[in-house]
Amino acid sequence: MDRQVPLVQLRGVGKRFDAGPWVLQGLALEVAAGEFVSLIGPSGCGKSTLLRLVAALSRPTEGEILIEGKAPRLGERGTVFLFQEPTLLPWLTVRRNIEIPLRIRGVGRRQRQALVEAMLGTVRLKEAAGKYPRQLSGGMKMRASVARALAQAPRLLLMDEPFGALDEMTRHHLNEELLEMRERAGWTAFFVTHSVAEAVFLSSRILVMAANPGRIHADLRVDLPYPRTADTRETDAYLRQVAEVTHVLRSVEAGGEGGVR
Ligand SMILES: Nc1ncnc2c1ncn2[C@@H]1O[C@H](COP(=O)(O)OP(=O)(O)OP(=O)(O)O)[C@@H](O)[C@H]1O
Ligand SMILES: [Mg+2]
**Which numbered ligand comes closest to the C-alpha of 212?**
1
* Residue 229 placed within a domain: yes
**Residue ID of nearest Cα to ligand 1 atom 3:** 17
**Residue ID of nearest Cα to ligand 1 atom 18:** 46
Highest mean pLDDT among 137-141, 159-163, 181-185: 159-163
- Cβ neighbors of 12 (< 8 A, separation 6 or more) are 26, 27, 28, 62, 63, 64
* Ligand 1 midpoint to CA 23 (Å): 7
* Ligand 2 midpoint to CA 193 (Å): 9
* Residue 3 placed within a domain: yes
| pLDDT (0 to 100) of residue 74 | 78
Distance in angstroms (rounded) separating the CA atoms of residues 41 and 194: 7
* Residue 134 placed within a domain: no
Q: Once rounded to an integer, what is the mean pLDDT over residues 174-184? A: 88
pLDDT band with cut points at 50, 70 and 90 for residue 86: confident
* Ligand 2 midpoint to CA 191 (Å): 11
* DSSP annotation string for 218-242: EEEE---PSS--GGGGGSHHHHHHH
Give the phi and the psi of residue 217 in degrees, each rounded to 5. -90, -40
**Which numbered ligand comes closest to the C-alpha of 47?**
1
pLDDT band with cut points at 50, 70 and 90 for residue 218: very high
Q: How many CB atoms lie within 10 A of CB 243?
A: 11
Q: How many CB atoms lie within 10 A of CB 111?
A: 10
| pLDDT (0 to 100) of residue 254 | 83
Q: Which of 233, 229, 202 is nearest to 35 (CA)?
A: 202
* Ligand 1 midpoint to CA 45 (Å): 7
Which residues form ligand 1's pocket by a CB distance below 6 Å? 17, 20, 23, 43-49
pLDDT band with cut points at 50, 70 and 90 for residue 222: very high
**Mean per-residue pLDDT of the chain:** 92
**Residue ID of nearest Cα to ligand 1 atom 12:** 23
* Ligand 2 midpoint to CA 83 (Å): 9
Q: Which domain holds residue 197?
A: 1-78+189-261
| pLDDT (0 to 100) of residue 58 | 93
Closest ligand 1 atom to Cα of 209: 21
* Residue 67 placed within a domain: yes
**CA 110, chain centre distance (Å):** 29
* Residue 259 placed within a domain: yes
Total domain count for the chain? 1
Least confident of 140-144, 220-224, 226-230: 140-144
Distance in angstroms (rounded) separating the CA atoms of residues 261 and 258: 10
* Residue 228 placed within a domain: yes
Is residue 201 pLDDT above 90, yes or no? yes
pLDDT band with cut points at 50, 70 and 90 for residue 77: confident
* DSSP annotation string for 153-219: --SEEEEESTTTTS-HHHHHHHHHHHHHHHHHH--EEEEE-S-HHHHHHH-SEEEEEETTTBEEEEE
Closest ligand 1 atom to Cα of 46: 18
Is residue 122 pLDDT above 90, yes or no? no
* Residue 127 placed within a domain: no
Closest ligand 1 atom to Cα of 42: 25
For residues 192 and 159, is the Cβ–Cβ distance under 8 A?
yes
* Ligand 1 midpoint to CA 116 (Å): 34
pLDDT band with cut points at 50, 70 and 90 for residue 3: low
Is residue 196 pLDDT above 50, yes or no? yes
Regarding predicted confidence, which is higher, 140 or 246? 246
For residues 142 and 165, is the Cβ–Cβ distance under 8 A?
yes
Distance in angstroms (rounded) separating the CA atoms of residues 205 and 169: 24
| pLDDT (0 to 100) of residue 177 | 85
Distance in angstroms (rounded) separating the CA atoms of residues 163 and 256: 28
**For position 223, which CATH number holds?**
3.40.50.300
**Residue ID of nearest Cα to ligand 1 atom 25:** 43
Residue 225's Cβ-count burial label (10 Å; 0-12, 13-18, 19+) is exposed
DSSP state of 106: T
DSSP state of 133: G
Q: Which of 223, 248, 220, 218 is nearest to 237 (CA)?
A: 223
Pocket probe for ligand 1: among 16, 17, 22, 158, the residue whose CB has the most ligand atoms within 8 Å is 17
* Residue 126 placed within a domain: no
The pairing of strands 62-67 and 36-40 is: unpaired
Question: CA 221 → CA 55, 65, 162, 165, 205, distances in Å?
Answer: 24, 22, 22, 27, 4
